[in-house]
Amino acid sequence: MKKIILLCAVLAVLAGAYSCTKLDVPVESQYVKSNFPITDADYNALLGTIYSNLSSNYAVPYWRMQELSTDEAILPARDGNFDDGGQYRQLHYHTWTFDHANVTGVWQWGFGGVNTCNRIISVINASPSSEEKKTASIAEVRAMRALYNYFMMDLYGNIPIITDFPVANLPATQSRAKAFQFIESELLNVIPQLPVKNGSNATLYYGRPTKAMAFALLEKMYLNAQVYTGTAKYTEAVAMADSVLKNSNYSLDAKYRDIFLPNNGPQINETIFAIPYDQQIPGNQFTRFGFFYYLVNAYGFNVGLSIAMSTTPEFYNRFNLPGDARTKTWLAGPQFAPDGSGGFTNQPVYYPGTTTQIYIEPKLTLVPGKPMDLGNTIASQSEGVRSIKYYPDPTIIQATRLNGNDVPVFRLADVMMMKAEAILRGATATTVNGELQTPDVLVNKIRARAGAPAVAGIDLDGLLDERAREFSWEAWRRNDLIRFGKFEVEYPLPNDVLTMDKSVTRRIYPVPAAEIRLNPNLVQNPGY
């Protein structure tokens, strides 16, 4: 999958570089409807654009809309540096507008992906290849189109549903409930044609939709159905979870840390759907924006990295369970050299040219009178707990500063935790593979893998905290807080001069103004 994504990116660059020169070259080969796509290589080249588009914005702009709008991530200014026109504090304080860079860019990214899927379906329909190949490939594309539409529905609520290519008429806004029904029906329709992960095909279908991916996406939709449609579907969420849990080829990996290392990939047993990245595939810049600059030498880097992004003290305070390995995915307190496998040695790391051990303060104190600005002294730079969940990639290069860690979208732990929540919200516990899976049973499996103590009688508030520990920086925090009715809860910082917009209309983003100007059939969301 990484090779396919990289090939698509290279072809796009070459096409742009040579599109207006050498127009008199002889045609030696030609792809037309009568001969493309036919081979597996043809289909890989054709479908690869879906995945290269997905990776391009998922781990930065899309991720920021889901995480910087919550207590889980914050990108403060440092004496004006990293302010970038206030776009990050606008996300953090829920004061974004209909022309915010991410609001516009992510809309175009998501519906660009939908348009790509529709175009590819039209090409496949005209292909001379076998009906079996066409059916399987169209199912894959429709599953990916459903995923793009889900991202858009979750962010923007009321969205257009576009299935034709080329688009004959300007599409009109559909209600969130209708968008939900469309995505649900698409997934249910294609599940019979999607592959099942088994012991021999994990690599082949890594980063591509499988039956389990569709089940997990439906489970996520059903768990949030009360928010999306006004009708609860917790029993349906449990049924989708069981459809995944019955497949013994998915299991919790022994070490939590392994899931997010730079060399993660098809060998991770609990990955249901991930987005592949490497140093040439644009998109994964967690180390560039979220690492701590003064640690670059200790981690073996020879590149310029940021000091900017961290988490809030309130969020980090949840990492308080004895023995919990998930706590080690954060940099806080005195810093020690890494051991190369996700842990630390006993060797202190010093500020350059000193004998002062680096100390990262788990607090954020804003400069009085400045909006979300920490100042830019070494002391203020050292404030803010940093995440190394996507463990810093030692092969990162200056030219791109991209991580090679693949980023999971759906994994088995989430399927289990969503099932536990659905049961707490009223669904009936079910038996899978001879085991009655109550919320405590499911959550304690995840806790045991992390080395955290078992819990007895977990409730919804406890489950939300457990989701925070398990899925931090995996782009689900906004989704979780809205479902729990806590998206508008403020997390004040010392010397704060800004206040959060607590209107519930902020639970969905506005339709970009630029898109409404282009398409008057789009209707702006309430409150904007």
CA atoms within 13 A on the CB side of 256: 23
Q: Quick one: which of 193, 182, 129, 137 has its CA closest to 158? A: 182
How far is Cα of residue 138 from the mean position of the Cα atoms in its chain?
A: 24
- H-helix segments, 79-231: 87-92, 101-125, 131-156, 176-190, 211-223, 225-229
Pairing, β 333-334 against β 336-338: unpaired
Tell me which residue of 280, 398, 396 sits closest to 6, measured CA to CA: 280
How far is Cα 417 from Cα 464, in angstroms, rounded to an integer?
10
Measured between alpha carbons, how far is 427 from 439 in angstroms, rounded to an integer? 11
Host H or E run for residue 331:
strand 330-331
Q: List Cβ neighbours of 243 (8 Å cut-off, separation of 6 or more).
A: 211, 212, 215
Strand partners of residue 383? 361
User: pLDDT tens, position by position, for the chain (528 residues)?
Assistant: 665 665 554 444 334 433 344 445 454 445 556 667 888 898 889 999 999 999 999 999 999 999 999 999 999 999 999 999 999 999 999 999 999 999 999 999 999 999 999 999 999 999 998 999 999 999 999 999 999 999 999 999 999 999 999 998 999 999 999 999 999 999 999 999 999 999 899 999 999 999 999 999 999 999 999 999 999 999 999 999 999 999 999 999 999 999 999 999 999 999 999 999 987 777 888 888 888 889 988 988 878 788 789 999 999 999 999 999 999 999 999 999 998 778 899 999 999 899 999 999 999 999 999 999 999 999 999 999 999 999 988 778 777 788 889 999 999 999 999 999 999 999 999 999 999 999 999 999 999 999 999 999 999 999 999 999 999 999 999 999 999 999 999 988 999 999 999 999 999 999 999 999 999 999 999 999
Q: What is the pLDDT of residues 191-208, one digit of tens each?
A: 999 999 998 999 999 999
Nearest CA among 150, 149, 158, 154 for reference residue 176: 158
Tokens standing for 318?
A: 């949840």
CA distance linking residue 451 with residue 337, whole number of Å: 22
CA distances from 395 to 262, 338, 399, 411 (A): 9, 15, 12, 26
Residue 96 burial class via C-beta count within 10 angstroms: exposed 0-12, middle 13-18, buried 19 and up = buried
pTM across the whole model: 0.93
**Dihedral class, residue 202 (left if φ above 0, else alpha if ψ from -120 to 50, else beta):** alpha
Beta bridge pairs of residue 198: none
d(CA 372, CA 26) in angstroms, rounded, equals 59
